[in-house]
Amino acid sequence: MTLYEVKKNLGEHIGHEVKIKYSLGRNKYENYHATIKELYDYVFTVENEQGIKSFSYSDVMIKTIRIDY
């Protein structure tokens, strides 16, 4: 998956609720139900009940985070 494909997939789901599984390492994960808010050049933001979080597109490419649409 390329950076362009990641941005395109995320762009199609702006405003939609997604499930994010974030790897903390050593088989530890955080799960979020969040809404994709905005896309920037190097990061994208999501909003959930705890507030706004940002992730980089490379996190998606190297599978540090997994997004279920």
H helices, E strands: number in the chain: 2, 5
Q: Which pLDDT band holds residue 4 (cuts at 50, 70, 90)?
A: very high
pLDDT over 90 (residue 1) = no
CA 43, 31, 61, 10 dihedral sign is negative
- Tell me, yes or no, if the pTM score tops 0.85: yes
Report CA-CA distances (Å) from 47 to 9, 23, 34.
17, 18, 5
pLDDT digits 0-9 by tens, 14-61: 999 999 999 999 999 999 999 999 999 999 999 999 999 999 999 999
Cβ atoms of 57 and 2 closer than 8 Å: no
The per-residue pLDDT for 28 is 96
Q: Domains in the chain and their CATH numbers?
A: 3-68 (2.30.30.100)
